[in-house]
Amino acid sequence: MINGVIFDFDGLIFDTETHQYRILQDMFGEYDSELPLALWQNEVGTDGGFSPFHYMEQQIGKPVEHELLNKQYKERFLSVLSKEKPRDGVVEYLETAKEMDLRIGLASSSSYRWVSSHLKRLDLYDYFQCIRTSDHVEKVKPDPALYLQAAEHLDLAPETCLVFEDSAHGATAAKRAGMSCVVVPNKITSTMEFGHVEHRLDSMADMPLKDLLDFVATIKVK
């Protein structure tokens, strides 16, 4: 029986990841270079230490001004995100979970400052009884620590939690934690291999949460 739901943040609650990649691709194009999607996908949902502008240097064969490029990137990214809304169906899932008295958590490989500031701007912060981020663990996804900590804080056994993820690293973390997992990919993560998860949705708007919970209750993928 599912007693709690735990959400990823970036790319799932609102689509930071598609904008992030498009902005980087535009910047690479300005230097007659390209950031391959497959390479960027390796970084989605985790923190592998990849530096896109160091990669750019390798591609164009000359140094670039990292400080300037990082400044330009952050300005473009935050400008776009300031207009972004939650992905379709997210608010409805949170409302339904609240009405059903499910415990609601969030587990993100990003920082608490990043996550909390955007949740507050989106007016979603108060839905979550627990928020666990990179500030709370030594290892982020695909390590299961974020999800295990969230379950513990919610006073739930891992097997009674349903995770919503958009990335392969995140789905791996959820399954390693012993939880059920439904993936809701975005445009950047839609071609990823997610392995054995309970279900995949193109959008949370495609299936009411109550129906999804009934479906997940009949299946458990190990």
User: Is the confidence at residue 139, as pLDDT, over 70?
Assistant: yes
Please give the share of the chain, as a percent, with pLDDT higher than 70: 98
> Span 195-210, mean pLDDT?
96
User: Tell me, what's the pLDDT at 222?
Assistant: 60
Beta-bridge mates of residue 163: 6, 181
pLDDT digits (tens, 9 = 90+) for 3-19: 999 999 999 999 988 89
Q: What share of the chain is helix, strand, coil (3-state, %, to 5)?
A: 45, 10, 40
126, exposed or middle or buried, with CB in 10 Å at 0-12, 13-18, 19+?
Answer: exposed
| Cα dihedral 88→143→137→216 (10° resolution) | 40
- Closest by Cα among 177, 143, 173 to 160: 177
> Span 185-199, mean pLDDT?
92
User: Tell me, what's the pLDDT at 72?
Assistant: 95
pLDDT digits (tens, 9 = 90+) for 172-185: 999 999 999 999 99
User: 12 phi and psi, to 5 degrees?
Assistant: -105, -55
56, exposed or middle or buried, with CB in 10 Å at 0-12, 13-18, 19+?
Answer: buried
Q: How confident is the model at residue 38 (pLDDT cuts 50, 70, 90)?
A: confident
| Cα dihedral 60→65→67→73 (10° resolution) | -50
Non-local (6+) Cβ contacts of 14 within 8 A are 81, 84, 85, 86, 87, 90, 118, 122
Q: Considering 10, 15, 143, 166, which one is annotated as catalytic?
A: 10
- Closest by Cα among 13, 6, 10 to 159: 6
User: Is the confidence at residue 63, as pLDDT, over 90?
Assistant: yes
User: Tell me, what's the pLDDT at 221?
Assistant: 62
User: Tell me, what's the pLDDT at 17?
Assistant: 86
Q: Considering 8, 15, 143, 166, which one is annotated as catalytic?
A: 8
135 classed as catalytic: no
Q: How confident is the model at residue 220 (pLDDT cuts 50, 70, 90)?
A: low
Distance CA 131, CA 128 (A): 7
Q: What is the pTM of this model?
A: 0.91
Distance CA 116, CA 118 (A): 6
What stretch of H or E contains 83? none
8 classed as catalytic: yes
- Contact predicate 171/194, CB 8 Å: yes
